[in-house]
């Protein structure tokens, strides 16, 4: 069932007298209830503006956003939770006091016991907000986004700045929330995060939506080859030139040859026949990083 429909969304911003820039340029997509939907794009792609229109923070220049077929209203807004990327917490309050404060803002809230369990807050309820680690603060902010028991949860780059372990712990929290039959709209700069969490992704670049679908669907659509990597020093320059293989810079002193192959066994047999050493060989399938690079010409985190 579709929960959000976005039709031909456009947003202009004035830059000079009688001159505007189009931050969002005719974007349309749908989001299914109970799904984790990822909106991906580099800075300046129009992703943040699109999300802010969906959240009701700013108005569109034209187009529409419908929730269950209706424009955003107070009833619908009360069923939305938002975790902003940057949120200042009140100093000198504990986590428990912060939960109590935010609970007082709403007529209907999730039970605090359930919220504490869902966001794994039990070990630091008595801790002052100023003393929270990055991961603990993000878990508290997630709890505040869920405190009104919303049907739709917006998460704006929730794991930015977290260490790898904290990021993976946070992924599990998001999966737990999705298991509560909530719809999640996620923005992220991490492709592995989108691949792990999202049922569907939409890729924006330069204000336009350039691709949408589930990660497996999009990878199957855009890639039918496997990537083989070898140190450049082991591959004769004549073979690289003859086959138009790409040279990839790993760092300032190390380069690899990237070989795209539809038949790995055949390619490896060819390399061995040409007496190419296979030490350091690396084989991988395409992932969302490769997809983004192919669609936009640059890495998402560039």
Highest mean pLDDT among 61-65, 90-94, 292-296, 298-302: 61-65
Contact 235, 277 (CB under 8 A): no
Judged by average pLDDT, the poorest of 17-26, 153-162, 247-256, 265-274 is 247-256
DSSP assignment letter at 166: H
Contact 230, 278 (CB under 8 A): yes
Residue 90 has pLDDT above 80, yes or no: yes
* Positive/negative CA dihedral, 116, 120, 122, 128: negative
Which residues lie closer than 8 Å to 296 by C-beta, 6 or more apart? 42, 203, 205, 210
Whole-number pLDDT of residue 289: 85
Residues of the chain with CATH 3.30.70: 224-285
Whole-number pLDDT of residue 35: 95
Which comes out higher in pLDDT, residue 33 or 90? 33
Task: Return d(Cα 89, Cα 129) in angstroms, integer.
Answer: 7
Long-range contacts of 91-96 (CB under 8 A, 24+ apart): 91/128, 91/129, 91/130, 92/128, 92/129, 92/130, 93/128, 93/129, 94/125, 94/126, 94/127, 94/128, 94/129, 95/121, 95/124, 95/125, 95/126, 95/127, 95/129, 95/132, 95/140, 96/125, 96/126
Quick: pLDDT tens for 242-260. 999 999 887 767 899 999 9
Whole-number pLDDT of residue 252: 65
Whole-number pLDDT of residue 28: 96
Q: Average pLDDT of the chain?
A: 90
**Pairing verdict, β 80-83 and 246-249:** unpaired
The stretch 117-127 carries a mean pLDDT of 93
The stretch 158-175 carries a mean pLDDT of 89
Judged by average pLDDT, the poorest of 12-21, 169-178, 180-189, 190-199 is 12-21
Q: What angle do CA 160, 197, 145 make, to 5 degrees?
A: 60
pTM: 0.85
- The superfamily in CATH containing domain 2-214 is P-loop containing nucleotide triphosphate hydrolases (3.40.50.300)
Whole-number pLDDT of residue 190: 86
Whole-number pLDDT of residue 19: 81
Which residues lie closer than 8 Å to 282 by C-beta, 6 or more apart? 228, 229, 230, 256
Whole-number pLDDT of residue 6: 95
Residue 200 has pLDDT above 50, yes or no: yes
Whole-number pLDDT of residue 188: 87
Quick: pLDDT tens for 30-80. 999 999 999 998 878 888 899 999 999 999 999 999 999 999 888 888 899
Task: Return d(Cα 188, Cα 158) in angstroms, integer.
Answer: 7
Task: Return d(Cα 286, Cα 279) in angstroms, integer.
Answer: 22
The stretch 273-295 carries a mean pLDDT of 89
Task: pLDDT band for 199, please (50, 70, 90 cuts).
Answer: very high
pLDDT above 90 coverage of the chain, percent: 67
The stretch 3-16 carries a mean pLDDT of 91
Whole-number pLDDT of residue 293: 83
Residue 301 has pLDDT above 60, yes or no: no
Task: Return d(Cα 248, Cα 239) in angstroms, integer.
Answer: 16
Residues of the chain with CATH 3.40.50.300: 2-214
224-285 maps to CATH 1.10.10: no
Task: Return d(Cα 257, Cα 271) in angstroms, integer.
Answer: 12
Task: pLDDT band for 302, please (50, 70, 90 cuts).
Answer: very low
C-alpha R_g of the chain: 23
Residue 300 has pLDDT above 90, yes or no: no
């Amino acid at each position: 069932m579709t929960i959000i429909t976005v039709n031909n969304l456009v947003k202009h911003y004035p830059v000079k007298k009688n001159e505007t820039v189009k931050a969002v340029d005719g974007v349309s997509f749908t989001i299914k209830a109970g799904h984790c939907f990822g909106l991906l794009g580099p800075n300046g792609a129009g992703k943040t503006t699109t999300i802010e229109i969906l959240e009701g923070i700013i108005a569109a220049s034209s187009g529409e956003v419908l929730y269950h077929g209706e424009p955003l209203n107070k009833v619908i807004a009360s069923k939305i939770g938002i975790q902003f990327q940057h949120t200042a917490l009140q100093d000198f309050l504990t986590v428990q006091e912060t939960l109590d404060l935010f609970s007082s803002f709403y007529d209907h809230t999730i039970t605090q016991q359930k919220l504490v369990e869902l966001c794994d807050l039990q070990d630091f309820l008595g801790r002052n907000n100023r003393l929270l680690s990055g991961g603990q603060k993000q878990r508290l902010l997630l709890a505040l986004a869920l405190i009104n028991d919303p049907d739709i949860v917006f998460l704006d780059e929730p794991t930015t700045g977290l260490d790898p372990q904290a990021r993976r712990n946070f992924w599990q929290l998001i999966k737990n929330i999705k298991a509560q039959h909530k719809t999640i709209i996620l923005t992220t700069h991490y492709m592995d995060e989108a691949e792990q969490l999202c049922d569907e992704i939409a890729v924006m670049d330069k204000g336009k939506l350039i691709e949408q679908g589930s990660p497996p669907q999009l990878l199957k659509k855009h890639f039918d080859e496997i990537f083989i990597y070898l140190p450049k020093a082991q591959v004769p320059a004549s073979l690289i030139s003859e086959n138009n293989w790409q040279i990839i810079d790993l760092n300032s002193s190390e380069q690899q040859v990237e070989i795209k192959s539809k038949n790995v066994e055949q390619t490896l047999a060819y390399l061995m026949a040409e007496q190419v050493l296979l030490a350091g060989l690396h084989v991988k399938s395409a992932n969302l990083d490769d997809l983004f690079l192919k669609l936009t010409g640059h890495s998402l985190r560039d």
